[in-house]
Structure 1
């Protein structure tokens, strides 16, 4: 299925211009069979679902280690906070690890009280143990030898209460340290994500126009929003927990070796088994996470394209095809997400099984050690708690593998965006004209998208300040190329373009574009008031200046009819105003900016004939004293241009004034007569 796409802004096409006003341009070295629209389509990539493949012909293989290291490097500016997280983690985990050992002492006190109460007072513990061995009860004597009790004395509730209060204080301290650790970790992570968003935003402003020609808009938005959000969530949910889990493993292991080296070695058996399971499952899950986020980008691209073009989808009856494409992409996302979550979800139950088996083994061996008198009951009880604490962080680390893998998969997509080739850098010492008058010169300019396919060769043209140059020709003839080269949306392959004697490549793009105003056929508005949209190119403009520009562009007459006038809020789709009214607003924006060079690309294509006449008169005043480039299909709108360039099949075939070109009876005359005949037919 071919999905309806938004009509792109004029894609730069082939242009050539002769040096002298009467000599036709040399044809470009471009096969006639290859149209400009095909050239543009080749740059943009295939239409429809085939375009939604992450914006690339093939996906890079997942570099988990490299992307992980690069993601961790983003945390370097937060080293101080991370040291604080580590310190608080050590304190929190240290308290949590000491707790079972202290609680084991309380168990020994309770057991000692129970045992002491069953023996008469006046004898010592040694005498009791000797009597038990003399009576053939050596096993009981071995168990009681690990406990310090006083015959005839019951439980010491004061001592037990003191120990329990210490346990309570230790766990409270652990919780407090953990709370501050979480707050510090959240601050460090959100600052890192904040900087990453800034980097992506800055990168988008440095990418060349050709990048966006080849990328579905929804795919770019998905990387800049969904993937960055997923990175932040993954880091937030894993970083602090991973630190605490690793510290817990170290602390618990130290306490286990302190209590019983033998039991500690038995507990360690689970570590290599757990690592092997997590590694095996993780390798199978990672490609599925990559596919999940790649498919998310494809689905977002389809939804964005179908939503922005929903009117065309309905007009041409493509709802079923659009729904079918959505169904296929949604099923692909379901399949990849299910596989990713299911495979990574195997880790936790597998780790729990290993931990439970280890728990049983420790309990059995620990019981035998108590029976032999090697350990006290309190020590075994503490060790069993440590055994559970030891297996729990292993399970947690393994279960977080899906979050880590998902976050790294998103990070790689964001890094691909950040690593995309940028437009040529700004000059170290940018130049600027002494006085911006608007003299434009194309000197032997060559331009090509593909190094093997030349599009423009040896283009030369001089435009004096205040002159109006009109560019006409059939759709797809390449009328917008010179304008896009002048704006440095694309860089010339050879030659140079000068503005008032200064090579525009030696100027900063901001300086160059600040003196150029554009009114495009495809209007662009943003969410805000009408006054804010008009003042977009002149932020310091007063309300009076905004109204004056609106009157000049005939915007004032319909704005006054709106309930809130100039404070009426419109969205980025221009809801509430017609296509012609949106175009009038963009024209008013150019009036207010007062540029030195004016570019009008079919600027009156959406207005009625009467309004067009009024706007043409206003534009005549606006163009006065300014260099203007006018791209038009309606030849009646450019009759008064100083020079008219006629383009066909990527080359300039004629140039001159309106009267000169009509008298020449060439391509321009044929276009003019065709439009005139069509107008007569419409009247008839």
Structure 2
């Protein structure tokens, strides 16, 4: 049984379908700067293929002139004045030309290989880097629920397919063209009638190739899609291995991987079935061309008379040249299937690469960029309204706001009941008319049930999304007018979901402040209550902590995250349930470091436990995206509203929210919706 995500369209499908002539675009945008490598490789390839045709020609002339003594030593590319007069000298000349042609072929092939690989790898280096850079610039709606495995497939597998095409198939296409044209020229020069008979298979092979390309293209597209889906499924399963094991759902995940793998198998077989028709077919056409040449030429020589409508004579040397060159002609034509394979694969991959690159950005720096210089830290939300658009792939609904369960002992469930069911939640704004001001140095806390909009409020401040109505201002500047890098460098964000890179402790703490010295890193860790445990690690600050910091506990990871923010020294601080996933003792340590960090800064706190924010300068209680209560801790307790009831639940004074209060909450919400109408 698949998930809803399994049934969604590909992340890039809409934009991929809009890509026009993807391979032409690849050459235009990325190949042009490296064109000198391509041209050099092409020229060397032409010379390599041309010199490889010399031995059969020399051999044919030598047979007739030296061994059979039935013709003069007449080579197309050698002036008569360079031809010696004796058979022995002509023999040694033939040997020299054959050996020289092999040496020349080897040299030009080496030059072609170096140039072709330089072109291919330089182009794909640029494609990978620019695609990754573009991916990083995309808005958060792109990453909300997106399939990381598919993105990895584009940056890795699809880029590799393009690299193989540029490295092998492109140059092989040139080699094929040179070989076919060169061989055709030589054969028509030797004997036009037999040449026409030998080459009659070429138009048949061209038509067969055209049919194959039209038939296989959609199958390659499906195959690339299934590769992305399989990568996504594997990445999700491996990333959530702890959940899988603790839930005992190994068989369920195996079934999902089996389904994705079978889809890939099915789509791959659909491609291979056509290949099994095309490749033998091309080899059959090429083989028939060789067999026809051998049959007609053999009869011509053995009978001494041109068979059928053919006229003239055919020498033994010419016949040998025809056989050698037809065999040379057969092999490249039989390889057309590999070139077509690579072309179709590269076309599908380039569509996906440019599909990623064409995903639009919504969060962009305005024309009048404002740079924050030593901001005072006054933050105002002016009648802010925001909702995730239905067209945003993966945009969370109000029930998936990023707010974690914010209370113990069933409080989240009770608060959810208070909000009541809302089947039209996706159509309602997540933030609705929020208006408040945080003065410099104040601490403002957001509390409310899951899905109330708390995390969304701070994401709007970080400008991970843009407001639909109203404005958010820092020191009077609309955040949409502030240079994005300047804005985010002034904000420090400590999330409940701590992310650490695979590297040393010191490298993770200085992430974003890469020029910080060891003393600054240690001071930041001391401020975050992390120095003691770091020094007890095997290599101290140089200890590698593994991917996502797997070698550390949750509390240790959280304290390193706080240390990283301390080192950043932001003017405005955002604490998004920073102690929600740790034990009480660790929470006390972390809370102490957070209090130290928040001193004299404008601070926004999303509360998990209400006891951690009772000393905030102002507490804003959110429900359904609106501020329903505001004030200090004692003031809100005196008001005996939602905050007071939830405080009572967490303090153990009441076991749960009373049904009468829940009913009042439902009525209050219904009245609010009615007023909106």
Does structure 2 conserve the Cα–Cα contact (< 8 Å) formed by 1:537 and 1:590? Answer: no
Within 2, Cα distance between the matches of 1:440 and 1:234?
53
Aligned Cα root-mean-square deviation (Å) = 2.5
Aligned residue for 2:463, secondary structure, equals coil
Match for 2:633 among 645, 652, 658? Answer: 658
Residue 109 (structure 1) aligned with residue 84 (structure 2): no
Aligned residue for 2:68, secondary structure, equals helix
TM alignment of 1:100-249, pairs within 5 A: 100-112=56-68, 156-249=87-180
Unmatched 5+ stretches in structure 1: 4-45, 114-143, 149-154
Corresponding residue of 2:352 = 413
Instruction: String of CA shifts for 1:427-449, please: whole Å, max 9, x gaps.
Output: 34421245411111122322222
Relative contact order higher in (CA < 8 Å, ≥ 6 apart): 1
Does structure 1 conserve the Cα–Cα contact (< 8 Å) formed by 2:637 and 2:643? Answer: yes
Within 2, Cα distance between the matches of 1:50 and 1:590?
39
Corresponding residue of 1:359 = 290
Superposition deviation, residue 2 in structure 1: 6.0
Corresponding residue of 1:137 = none
Match for 1:72 among 27, 36, 40? Answer: 27
Does structure 2 conserve the Cα–Cα contact (< 8 Å) formed by 1:182 and 1:240? Answer: no
TM alignment of 1:572-611, pairs within 5 A: 572-611=547-586
TM alignment of 1:271-670, pairs within 5 A: 271-367=202-298, 369-370=300-301, 371-372=304-305, 374-433=313-372, 435-450=374-389, 453-670=428-645
Within 1, Cα distance between the matches of 2:489 and 2:646?
35
Within 2, Cα distance between the matches of 1:277 and 1:215?
41
Corresponding residue of 1:18 = none
Superposition deviation, residue 166 in structure 1: 1.1
Within 2, Cα distance between the matches of 1:254 and 1:550?
77
Within 2, Cα distance between the matches of 1:338 and 1:249?
31
TM-score by length of 2: 0.84
Residue 50 (structure 1) aligned with residue 7 (structure 2): yes
Larger Rg computed on CA atoms:
1
Within 2, Cα distance between the matches of 1:635 and 1:607?
15
Within 1, Cα distance between the matches of 2:281 and 2:540?
66
Superposition deviation, residue 512 in structure 1: 0.3
Aligned residue for 1:221, secondary structure, equals helix
Superposition deviation, residue 261 in structure 1: 1.6
Superposition deviation, residue 183 in structure 1: 0.9
Instruction: String of CA shifts for 1:212-241, please: whole Å, max 9, x gaps.
Output: 114211111111112112221232221211
Within 2, Cα distance between the matches of 1:359 and 1:57?
45
CA pair 424-563 structure 1, distance change in 2 beyond 3 A: closer
Aligned residue for 2:511, secondary structure, equals helix
Superposition deviation, residue 611 in structure 1: 3.5
Does structure 2 conserve the Cα–Cα contact (< 8 Å) formed by 1:84 and 1:184? Answer: yes
Does structure 1 conserve the Cα–Cα contact (< 8 Å) formed by 2:161 and 2:342? Answer: no
Instruction: String of CA shifts for 1:94-130, please: whole Å, max 9, x gaps.
Output: 21223321111111134425xxxxxxxxxxxxxxxxx
Within 1, Cα distance between the matches of 2:365 and 2:97?
66
Superposition deviation, residue 528 in structure 1: 0.8
- Range moving further from structure 2, 311-320 or 86-95: 86-95
Superposition deviation, residue 56 in structure 1: 6.3
Superposition deviation, residue 599 in structure 1: 0.3
Does structure 1 conserve the Cα–Cα contact (< 8 Å) formed by 2:384 and 2:469? Answer: yes
TM alignment of 1:21-40, pairs within 5 A: none
Superposition deviation, residue 284 in structure 1: 2.3
CA pair 669-545 structure 1, distance change in 2 beyond 3 A: same
Within 1, Cα distance between the matches of 2:93 and 2:649?
103
Residue 99 (structure 1) aligned with residue 55 (structure 2): yes
TM-score by length of 1: 0.83
Within 1, Cα distance between the matches of 2:438 and 2:36?
59
CA pair 75-469 structure 1, distance change in 2 beyond 3 A: same
Superposition deviation, residue 303 in structure 1: 0.8
Aligned residue for 2:446, secondary structure, equals strand
Aligned residue for 1:55, secondary structure, equals coil
Unmatched 5+ stretches in structure 2: 75-85, 306-311, 391-426, 657-677
- Range moving further from structure 2, 596-605 or 361-370: 361-370
Superposition deviation, residue 403 in structure 1: 1.8
Superposition deviation, residue 575 in structure 1: 2.0
Within 2, Cα distance between the matches of 1:434 and 1:60?
41
Superposition deviation, residue 395 in structure 1: 1.9
Report how many aligned residue pairs link the two structures. Answer: 601
